[in-house]
Amino acid sequence: MSKKTLLTGLLALLCTTAFAATPLRFRADGTFKIVQFTDVHFIHGDTRSDSALARIREVMAAERPDLVMLTGDVIYGKPAEQSYRTVLDLVSSYDVPFGVTFGNHDDEQGLDKEALMRIIQSYPLNLTRREPGIHGYTNYLVPVMASEGSDTAAVLYCFDSNTYSQIKGVKGYDYIRADQIDWYRRMSRTLTAARGGKPLPAYAFFHIPLPEYHEAVADESAVMIGTRMEPACAPALNSGLFAAMKECGDVRAMFVGHDHDNDYAVLWRGILLAYGRYTGGNTVYNHLPNGARVIELREDGKQFDTWIRLAGGQIINRATCPDSFQRK
């Protein structure tokens, strides 16, 4: 069996039937565009949430992405089902596949994660699934096929970053657990082995930033692009996901949300640590106007572009990774 056939077979086993039926694929020009909406914090019936829907409409119409990623805290009020469906109905109306990772507030509005997963998976274009036997719900991978042929050109790793610390004496937010990291290692090493030892370019999406976000901005030699108005609200404990990604050698960037007043990106030890732009209305704290992060991958995996889109067609913080993050 050829390595190409083995890789295709492995991805078929790892992915849902939805992926096999409508695989994501790089465009003919070698690009693949992702829009990240984060912290929509939608509350059904609350007019403060109207601007979140307006921003989603504007960004979707302007960018015409190949994939939408919702990186947590989609809702922030009851009724949970109506709130969640309002957002997903709008996203789905653009006939674009989408994936979800849970935040720390999603299951605080009257429905637990299992019930929310049933809502998400009722949408035909949803790619979200649950890897059984490990912590959390929104742990899954999404392959992106080459523009031509049956090769896979990139993979997206999605994680449930969980909610609040479960350890006595340790306050703050939970962390991505050891079994989730082990799952990532298995998938990464399997895909790398199927390509003759060459890692598949990978990108990660989840809600709560890693402790490495602190280290990155504290390094005076690291180039930061964007706005930082608050410290990273990361877990107090470091469970080692960043180290695992460096060991596996495949992840080029990670994209998170959670901190409403941060939208920066910083290259740290060869991996871009990036925030999405807060997408919600004024239902919670935010001092930055809402918007979205756009990520445009390139099929060769050597570089990718990213920017923030705001209201009225304004684009800020445009960057190419890694070139824009090299100190001159």
Question: What's the CA gap between 267 and 323, in Å, rounded?
Answer: 10
CA dihedral 102→81→112→78, nearest 10 degrees, is: 100
DSSP readout, 31-86? EEEEEEEB---B-TT-GGGHHHHHHHHHHHHHH--SEEEEES--B-SSSHHHHHHH
pLDDT at residue 21 in the model: 52
pLDDT at residue 327 in the model: 84
CA dihedral 60→315→84→11, nearest 10 degrees, is: 70
The two tokens of residue 81 are: 């089902």
For the chain, the residue count is 328
Domain extent, residue 197, equals 3-325
pLDDT at residue 292 in the model: 98
Identify the CATH number of the domain in which residue 179 sits.
3.60.21.10
DSSP readout, 283-298? TS---SPP-EEEEEEE
Look at the chain and report how many structural domains it folds into: 1
Question: What's the CA gap between 136 and 157, in Å, rounded?
Answer: 14
Read off the pTM.
Answer: 0.94
pLDDT at residue 19 in the model: 46
Mean pLDDT (10-residue bins), the chain, 328 residues: 50 45 89 98 95 98 98 95 97 97 94 97 96 96 95 97 94 96 97 95 98 95 96 96 98 97 97 98 93 97 97 97 92
pLDDT at residue 4 in the model: 52
pLDDT at residue 10 in the model: 56
pLDDT at residue 172 in the model: 94
Helix (H, G, I), strand (E, B) or coil at 303: coil
CA 52, 261, 258, 312 torsion-angle sign = positive
